[in-house]
Structure 1
Amino acid sequence: MKTAMMRLGSTKKRCKISAPMTRSQTYPLDKMPLEMKEEICMKLEVECITKLIALSKSWSSIVRNKIFTNLYLNQSLARPRILISLIGVQDMQHFFLSCSQEDPSSDHRTVSCNPPRQGNWYNFSPPVRGLMSCMCDNNKVMIGNPSTRQLITLPRVKTVRKDILHFFGYDPVKGEYKVLCMTVSRNPTRSRSGEAVTEEHQVFTLGAKRKKWRKIECEHLHYAHPRTQGICSNGVVYYLAWVENVRFLICFDVGSEKFSVMELPGDVEGLSNYGEKIAVTKMIIDGNIDLWVLEDASKQKWSKTTIVTSSWIESHNLIRRFMFRGRLGTGELVFEPLFVAGSFFLLSYDLKEGKVRKIIIPEIFGFSFTSIGVYLDHVESPMFLEL
């Protein structure tokens, strides 16, 4: 008995003096060279990259690094995706469906990006380098990343007005994201026609040292509906607005923060991406399509293409009313039917061949939604949002 107790005591003594495991033994991934970690991150999907933030400080520093974010974005630009925004009927939940542009019937990723207050109205902007701005009915402006499921709230816009427009853009020279907000005045003295005009123009720069809205000047009195969506292309945000009861194209240079006005080539209502350019056409198309592409913004040069739709609509027994959504990298034009029964689909029209094909999105079948938005050339961004 005494011998057994001596052995037990000796064992306890050995356990007490055993050295604790080092961090390198517990977390062997931390011993990897920095270059190897970065290479691993470049091959991961965005939702996996965001989880590395909580793994360790070294992994978090890589993911949050602006250089890594830009490298990942450049890689994503080579494989653009279609982003579909859905607002569900129940509780107004917001979902995003991302799918490959090369083969939209596969590689689906569905995420929810729900604002903090359910049951409210939310207006998301078209994505810009993976990010989107959002405004809810209490005039709060938010920035969202559908790929990381993040949504942050910006400081409240300083205004006494209720109607606020918002647009989202990116300055490629300084690498800055900016939100443009403007309020709507219904004071007839501000416009000779007595129509409402925008005023109190303010800009917020994401990631800037000063976390506040800055007032800027706009020399062009114009009006746009509060739910008007703009498109950012090559550092300029474009949106349609009225100047003295005539519709014009408003151009906001994100870098210089200056406004300019451009005449439209015809009676148009819709604005869409057209590769690296923009295009205008009718909002809802019923019959032949007149499509104008802005070839040179400095010279206000437009090119016109007329598409005869009757033949391919009848041959495929398709609905006649649809909306133009943009152009794929292949040159195909994408249209969204205004009414869909059964599976949701898009139409892809080949200008050269004069042929149309259906792009079926099976994941939306049976989904009850109040609104839907389709955006082409979406890129997945690993950018971690913070003010």
Structure 2
Amino acid sequence: MFPEEIFFEILLRLPVETLAIFLCVSKLWLSIIRSRHFINAYQSRCSTRRQSRVMFALQDQFATFRWHFLSISQPSFVINAPCSVDNTSYTPYCVHGLICIEYMDQLWICNPALGKGVLLPQGPQSSSYKPFRTWYMGYDPISCQYKILFFSKKRLRCRYKVQVFTLGGGQGSWKMIEVGNVHSPVTRGVCIDGIVYYGAGTAHGPRLVRFYVATEKFDDFIEFPVEASIVYDMLFANYQGKLALVAKRNISKYDIWVLEDAKKQEWSKVSININREMCSYNLIWPGVVGFVAGSGDLIVTARDYLLQFHLVYVDLKKKCSRGVWLGGVRPLARSSLVLAFTDYVESIMLL
């Protein structure tokens, strides 16, 4: 029998699917793999050795309330189809390997690497259905904790009640938190290095909100660039570890504002043009959905004239692109919603 320290190191090098099987070997193996020490060590190792992988969420062409999730790795463009989810009325989040989506008026957490999911228990303010609600998912890389930031209210003119769900051993737990700066979330969000960013309506107009996952505290509002005052249709993305706002000017031109310094509220701007020389594919209705993790390469979705679906990776420096055809996936036509989560890693979180 190996010493426990060596056995621990061996387990750290195994894929998630193998670890899930090893849970059934013995109580000792179960206790090691489920321990907070092992989960933290495994998550940290995944973060440092991870490949450039992207999780895509695509709305089904024939069933509006069905989402398909695809994991794509570079440079080989290996495609995996972790799962599909039906009966969902809100767009999903995928943060550090876990998917959060609404399922039958409840939040559902799924680990696509293991093919398992759980419904979250009802929170203290969720006993009755509330039509005005939204949520964001965050991950703290220091404590390796996942949290759900949940807003809800019964009436339009009411103030949002805010709850936080901490995903942990067993079912996790809900708790109410206070919000000093009153606001109403209006955009999708993104989690970068333990901070959840999203746009919100305030008494002084649209503002950027930052929520710290570890401390469960909100920071002061950040003003958007004057030119980027219309933030509702913008894409919030992770650009080389910084928050980026991507605004579409026309079918091929985009403006990208990057938050360089949150304390000083300093933004930089880059304008790009995805021309035919840069993107040689004969595609129509292109749209930027994100950036490749660790680089400034664009991820673009588009269709050809036969309405077949493509993903294109555009290298802005070399002015060239590579594409992958997803002919077996049929999202909605022009108005289809395609989401890209560029920091995807397989999670050891056992639900």
Shorter chain as normaliser: what TM range?
Answer: 0.7 to 0.9
Structure 1 unaligned runs (5+)? 1-30, 191-197
1:327 aligns with 2:292: yes
- Of the three residues 26, 37, 54, the one matched with 1:56 is 26
Higher percent of residues as helix? 1
Is 1:145 the equivalent of 2:115? no
Residue matched to 1:350: 315
Q: State which of 279, 291, 304 in structure 1 corresponds to 2:256.
A: 291
Report deviation, 1:93.
5.2
Kindly tell me: are residues 219 and 231 of structure 1, through their superposed partners in 2, closer, same or farther at Cα, counting changes over 3 Å? Answer: same
Which of residues 154, 178, 192 is equivalent to 1:233? 192
Deviation (angstroms), 1:169: 1.0
Whether the aligned pair in 1 keeps the contact of 2:72 and 2:80 (CA below 8 Å) is yes
Matched, 1:380 2:343: no
Does residue 73 of structure 1 match 2:43? yes
- Contact 2:313–2:321 (8 Å) recurs in 1: yes
What is residue 221 of structure 2 aligned with on the other side?
Answer: 261
| Equivalent in 367, 376, 381 of residue 329 of structure 2 | 367
Give 5+ residue unaligned stretches, structure 2.
none
Instruction: State the shift of 1:40 in Å.
Output: 3.6
Q: Name the SS for the 2:46 alignment partner.
A: helix
Equivalent residue for 2:102? 135
Distance 1:46 1:174, change over 3 A: closer
CA shift at 1:113, angstroms? 5.5
Partner residue of 2:206 out of 247, 267, 283 = 247
Instruction: Describe the superposition over 1:265-320 as per-residue Cα deviations: whole angstroms up to 9, x where unpaired.
Output: 13242211113111002268523221111112222111111112335367543325
Could you say if the C-alpha distance between residues 37 and 343 of structure 1 is closer, same or farther in structure 2, counting changes exceeding 3 Å? Answer: farther
Query: Normalising by structure 2, what TM-score?
Result: 0.83
* 1:378 alignment partner, SS class: coil
Match of 1:220? 181
How many Å separate the matches in 2 of 1:351 and 1:318? 18
Residue identity (%): 31
Specify whether residues 284 and 344 from structure 1 end up closer, same or farther in structure 2 by C-alpha distance, changes over 3 A only.
Answer: farther
Q: Deviations over 1:180-219 (max 9, x none)?
A: 111146454x6xxxxxxx5111111122799542211223
**1:319-348 Cα shifts (integer Å, max 9, x gaps):** 254124123324322222277846532222
Contact 2:52 2:293 in 1 (8 A): no
* Alignment partners' CA distance in 2, 1:308 and 1:147: 36
Q: Which residue of 2 aligns with 1:83?
A: 55
Residue from 6, 9, 14 that aligns with 1:44: 14
Count residues in correspondence: 335
- Structure 1 length as normaliser, TM-score? 0.76
The structure with the largest alpha-carbon Rg is 1
Is contact 2:288-2:301 (8 Å) kept? Answer: yes
SS of match in other structure, 1:286: coil
For 1:100 and 1:290, the matched residues in 2 are separated by 27
Question: Counterparts of 1:340 and 1:214 in 2: how far apart (Å)?
Answer: 50
The one-letter amino acid of 1:304's match is: K
Spell out, residue by residue over 1:88-137, the C-alpha distance to the aligned partner (whole angstroms, 9 max, x if none).
44695544322213332x3x3222254xxx54435321x22222322235
Could you say if the C-alpha distance between residues 122 and 149 of structure 1 is closer, same or farther in structure 2, counting changes exceeding 3 Å?
farther
Deviates further, 332-341 or 67-76: 332-341
Tell me which moved more, 207-216 or 81-90: 207-216
Residues of 2 paired with 1:182 and 1:318: CA distance?
Answer: 39
Output the aligned Cα RMSD. Answer: 2.9
Report the counterpart of residue 202 of structure 1 in structure 2.
Answer: 163
- For residues 351-382 of structure 1, the C-alpha deviation after alignment (integer angstroms, 9 at most, x for no partner) is 323x131320x4x3133345542221211112
* 1:123 matched residue in structure 2: 91
Q: Indicate how the Cα distance of structure 1 residues 340 and 186 shifts in structure 2: closer, same or farther if over 3 A, else same.
A: farther
Partner in structure 2 of residue 14 of structure 1? none
Match of 1:183 in 2: 152
Partner of 2:237: 272
2:71 aligned with 1:112: no
Q: Does 1:165 align with 2:131?
A: no
Contact 1:221 1:243 in 2 (8 A): yes
3-state SS in 1 of match to 2:39 = helix
C-alpha distance in structure 1 between counterparts of 2:250 and 2:169, whole Å = 42
**d(CA) in 2 for partners of 1:200, 1:68:** 35
CA contact (8 A) 1:181 1:202 kept: yes
Query: Is the Cα–Cα contact under 8 Å of residues 147 and 380 in structure 1 kept in the other structure?
Result: yes
Determine if contact 1:113/1:151 at 8 Å carries over to the other structure.
no
| Superposition deviation, residue 384 in structure 1 | 1.0
Post-superposition offset of 1:62: 2.6
